[in-house]
């Protein structure tokens, strides 16, 4: 198992440098190399099978996906809580105007927010 962290990880516009930095450590497809560079754990399917309980616990505790590499296909292991958060985000962003409203609300200073009366 190898986790690679790159000096390019801080900037999203350096994606090609990020992938190149990861690929120098191992011959992987660009998606896997990109995940390596971001610090995502990548395990082969045999290791995942033998350490499944520990990997599930790790995904839940660290809130980071774990890539499982197979001969035919790859998969990502994420916690149930993270999967629910992803689905909630996708749902909210599918509502027309909601994304812009959330961005606008996030930029409003806390002092300018009104307090709601509890029910």
- pLDDT value of residue 33: 63
**DSSP letter for each residue of the chain:** ----B-TTTT-GGGHHHHHHHHHTTS---HHHHHHHHBT-EEEEHHHHHHTHHHHHHHHHHH---EEEE-SS-EEEE--HHHHHHHHHHHHHHHSTTHHHHHHHHHHS-GGGSPPPPP-
List the beta bridge partners of residue 42.
67
Domain containing residue 72: 12-77
pLDDT of residue 20: 54
Residues 21, 54, single domain; the answer is yes
- Considering the domain architecture, whether residues 71 and 85 belong to the same structural domain is answered as no
Answer yes or no: is 91 within a domain.
Answer: yes
| 99 and 71 housed in the same domain | no
What is the pLDDT, as a whole number, of residue 55? Answer: 97
What CATH number corresponds to the domain at position 24? 3.40.1620.10
Do 51 and 102 lie in one domain? The reply is no
**Per-residue pLDDT at 1:** 33
Q: Are residues 70 and 94 in the same domain?
A: no
Is 73 a member of any domain?
A: yes
pLDDT at 3: 36
pTM above 0.85, yes or no: no
- Provide CB contacts within 8 A for 42, sequence distance 6+: 1, 2, 3, 32, 35, 36, 66, 67, 68, 69
What pLDDT, on a 0 to 100 scale, did the predictor assign at position 10? 45
Say if residue 52 is in the same domain as residue 94.
no
Pair (91, 67) in one structural domain: no
Q: 72 and 85: one domain?
A: no
pLDDT tens track for 82-108 = 999 989 988 888 888 888 888 888 888
Q: What is the pLDDT of residues 61-77, one digit of tens each?
A: 999 999 999 999 999 99
C-alpha to C-alpha distance for 85 and 98, rounded to whole angstroms: 16
* Tens digits of residue pLDDT in 17-59: 555 544 444 445 666 666 666 678 889 999 999 999 999 999 9
Q: Extract the tokens encoding 91.
A: 């749902």
Within a domain: 25 = yes
What is the pLDDT, as a whole number, of residue 77? 94
Say if residue 23 is in the same domain as residue 71: yes
pLDDT of residue 93: 82
């Amino acid at each position: 198992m190898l986790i690679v962290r790159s000096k390019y990880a801080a900037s999203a516009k350096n994606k090609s440098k990020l992938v190149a930095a990861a690929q120098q450590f191992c011959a992987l497809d660009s998606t896997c190399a990109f995940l390596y560079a971001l610090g995502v754990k990548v395990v082969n399917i045999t290791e995942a099978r033998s350490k499944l309980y520990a990997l599930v616990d790790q995904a839940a505790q660290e809130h980071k996906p774990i890539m499982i590499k197979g001969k035919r296909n790859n998969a990502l292991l994420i916690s149930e809580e993270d999967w629910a958060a992803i689905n909630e985000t996708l749902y909210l962003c599918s509502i027309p105007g909601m994304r812009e409203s959330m961005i606008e609300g996030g930029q409003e200073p806390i002092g300018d927010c009104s307090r709601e009366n509890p029910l």
